[in-house]
Amino acid sequence: MLRKRIIPCLDVRNGIVVKGINFVGLREMGDPAVHARFYNDEGADELVILDITASREERRSMVHVVEAVADALFIPLTVGGGIRTVDDVREMLNAGADRVSLNTAMVQRPELIEEAAERFGSQCVVAAIDARKRVNADGWEIYIYGGHEATGRDALEWACEVEKRGAGEILLTSMDRDGTQIGYDIPLLQALTSCVSIPVIASGGAGTPEHFAEGLREGGASAVLAASLFHTRALTIPNLKSYLREQGVPVR
């Protein structure tokens, strides 16, 4: 059985780590490179860093921040936000990223997934899907521009499409659960992981060690991601991994 991964996430705005609830009410939480160095030393399996306003502000992603974070790491780094072209992908990889996370740009032009996968390999392409439960209908809808714009597209159908186009992994964020610490959206996770064969990272809602175990076992995720819970040191990665091992969940 493949070992499960624990991934801290740094949401960054204007070069500073921030965190909110349901994608709003952002508060500053410090220097990305300082957080990165801490998680590297604490035993995180990977790190994700997302420039959460780059696409909405129509600007390029934070090359200098990525370089500083990459210098602090000896674990894989995934970078997202404001990546619109294959040249942008190359720039992030040259800055020290191991993989790039695509969201808004790939929804607007799905061919970007194929172009990036063909040029750099599927293992470099992470499809980020921000999903919210439909209010008056079944299923989940995907959002872009940092969760600010509904697309009308079904999350499960889109997940199948990004896999066919060459994405190597999906980063699935439940907008309904983001920052709430009430647990991952297990029905969403189960539905999506059952319709794709590529790994899925669960994001949005972790608040206790039990939530991580649920996301990995019941939800079918290959990895679990959290932000503020780790940033505030309410839960440490070593303690979380010990708990998961006790529960019979294989972790690195």
- What is the model's pLDDT at position 139? 96
Tell me how far apart the alpha carbons of residues 72 and 213 are, in angstroms, rounded to a whole number: 29
pLDDT 10s digits, 49-80: 998 766 555 555 589 899 999 999 999 999 99
10 Å CB burial of residue 247 (0-12, 13-18, 19+) is middle
Q: Does any domain span residue 251?
A: no
- What is the model's pLDDT at position 154? 97
Tell me how far apart the alpha carbons of residues 184 and 215 are, in angstroms, rounded to a whole number: 6
Q: Which residues on adjacent β-strands are paired with residue 99?
A: 78
| Under 8 Å between Cβ of 44 and 36 | no
Q: Does any domain span residue 77?
A: yes
Tell me how far apart the alpha carbons of residues 196 and 78 are, in angstroms, rounded to a whole number: 21
**Strand, helix or coil at 201?**
strand
**Tokens 């590529």 correspond to what residue?**
198
The CATH number assigned to the domain holding 229 equals 3.20.20.70
Tell me how far apart the alpha carbons of residues 117 and 127 are, in angstroms, rounded to a whole number: 11
Give yes or no: 31 in active site. Answer: no
Select which of 11, 51, 88, 178 is catalytic.
11
pLDDT 10s digits, 201-235: 999 999 999 999 999 999 999 999 999 899 989 99
**Strand, helix or coil at 29?**
strand
Instruction: Give, for all 252 residues of the chain, the pLDDT tens digit.
Output: 689 999 999 989 888 888 766 655 567 778 999 999 999 999 999 999 998 766 555 555 589 899 999 999 999 999 999 899 999 999 999 999 999 999 999 999 999 999 999 999 999 999 999 999 998 889 999 999 988 899 999 999 999 999 999 999 999 999 999 989 999 999 999 999 999 999 999 999 999 999 999 999 999 999 999 998 999 899 999 999 999 999 999 998
- What is the model's pLDDT at position 228? 86
Tell me how far apart the alpha carbons of residues 11 and 218 are, in angstroms, rounded to a whole number: 26
Residue 206 has φ and ψ, to the nearest 5°, of: -65, 135
Q: Does any domain span residue 20?
A: yes
Q: Does any domain span residue 252?
A: no
Q: Does any domain span residue 150?
A: yes
* Structure-block tokens of residue 124: 């470099």
- What is the model's pLDDT at position 19? 73
Q: Does any domain span residue 126?
A: yes
Instruction: Give me the number of domains the chain comprises.
Output: 1
Select which of 45, 51, 88, 130 is catalytic.
130
Q: Does any domain span residue 32?
A: yes
Tell me how far apart the alpha carbons of residues 159 and 188 are, in angstroms, rounded to a whole number: 12
Please write down the long-range contacts of 191-198, taking CB distance under 8 Å and 24 or more positions apart: 191/140, 191/156, 192/129, 192/155, 192/156, 192/159, 193/219, 193/220, 193/221, 194/220, 195/156, 195/159, 195/160, 196/159, 196/160, 196/163, 196/170, 197/163, 198/163, 198/167, 198/168, 198/169, 198/170
Give yes or no: 11 in active site. Answer: yes
Beta pairing, strands 200-203 & 223-226: parallel
- What is the model's pLDDT at position 29? 76
Residue 140 structural domain: 5-246
